[in-house]
Amino acid sequence: MSGEAQTVNPVAPPTGKPTRAGIRLPGVGESLNKGLVVTYLGLIVLLPLAAIATKAFEDGFGGFWDAVSSPQAFAALKLTVIASLIVVVINAIMGTLIAWVLVRDEFRGKGFVNSVIDLPFALPTIVASLTLLVVYGKDSPVGINIAFTQTAVVVALLFVTLPFVVRAVQPLLLSLDRDMESAAESLGAGKVRIFWRIIFPNLAPGIATGVALAFARALGEFGSLVLISGNVPFKTEVSSVFIRGQIESDNLVGASAVSVVLLATSLLLLACVTLAQRWGLRHDR
């Protein structure tokens, strides 16, 4: 059922006031809806976040800066951010590709493949780490040994962020209106053109969402890296391990400070992605 607009003049509903249905949960007023959402977010997310932010600046801005600019913290942040960026670029491409294949293609075992996409989420990270070490370490059954290198960090991150872009693009592909594609094809447009001009713009929000989530997750990932990345300071130590070290040394201010930086980086990417989307929308018209 495509969204064809009705051309009849709207008639006021018998109950008088417009209910703005479809805009909120039924039975719940719009302001109550907003209130519930805000309260939930506030309680679950904002409160702990505020605690971290407060801790990070407990020693003033100077203390914050010292903690974040120490050589080891900086090295960890650099490795983390760069690895995460590489990971999201790969995910954007491969995630879309996988979602495409899962929705549009048919082959034996597709159901199985679709089912296992989410497993990186459900597996405790220690198991993920152990498994990656077995598969890509010294005794690798496929002869690939990348343990304790920076490549290992990227591979582990790819593993845990796999579902994000795939699952964000799949629902969009499923909800896609095929009429426009058929129309374009019958007018002689090539497949690539159809993809870029018609399909991709509809998938872009999903890809953007998936990328933002994957980036955030990659920044903070800890458990799956423990066995395969090596954790050597300045070489293969990511920020989350560094934070753990700070906590172990009772330096909660340092731990909170680096966390705030990670958070800010992730929000920065989110902002960029949102802006890019808006820019894309504006330029399409």
Q: Does 68 bind another protein (CB under 8 A)?
A: no
Q: Does 91 bind another protein (CB under 8 A)?
A: no
Instruction: Look at residues 210, 209, 186 and name the one whose alpha carbon lies nearest to residue 198.
Output: 186
Q: Does 275 bind another protein (CB under 8 A)?
A: no
Q: Which of 115, 143, 186, 188 binds another protein (CB under 8 A)?
A: 115
Q: Which of 82, 89, 127, 183 binds another protein (CB under 8 A)?
A: 127
Nearest distance in Å: CB 81, another protein: 12
Q: Which of 57, 85, 86, 100 binds another protein (CB under 8 A)?
A: 100
Q: Does 58 bind another protein (CB under 8 A)?
A: no
Alpha helices by DSSP H, the chain: 30-41, 47-56, 60-69, 71-104, 110-116, 119-122, 125-136, 150-175, 178-186, 191-194, 200-220, 239-248, 252-284
Decide if 150 contacts 123 (C-beta within 8 A): no
Q: Does 195 bind another protein (CB under 8 A)?
A: no
Q: Does 142 bind another protein (CB under 8 A)?
A: yes
Cα(125)–Cα(157) distance, integer angstroms: 11
Q: Does 165 bind another protein (CB under 8 A)?
A: no
x-marked contacts with another protein along 215-254 as a string, rule CB under 8 A: -xx-xxxxx--xx--xxxxxxxx-xxx-xxxxxxxxxx-x
Q: In sequence order, what are the residues at sequence separation of 6 or more whose Cβ sits closer than 8 angstroms to the Cβ of residue 206?
A: 165, 168, 169, 170, 171, 172
Q: Which of 1, 108, 187, 285 binds another protein (CB under 8 A)?
A: 1
Nearest distance in Å: CB 143, another protein: 12
Q: Does 48 bind another protein (CB under 8 A)?
A: yes
Cα(148)–Cα(126) distance, integer angstroms: 16
Nearest distance in Å: CB 39, another protein: 10
Q: In sequence order, what are the residues at sequence separation of 6 or more whose Cβ sits closer than 8 angstroms to the Cβ of residue 201?
A: 280, 284
For another protein, the closer of residues 184 and 270 by Cβ is 270
Q: Does 257 bind another protein (CB under 8 A)?
A: no
Cα(80)–Cα(22) distance, integer angstroms: 42
Q: Which of 60, 78, 82, 191 binds another protein (CB under 8 A)?
A: 191
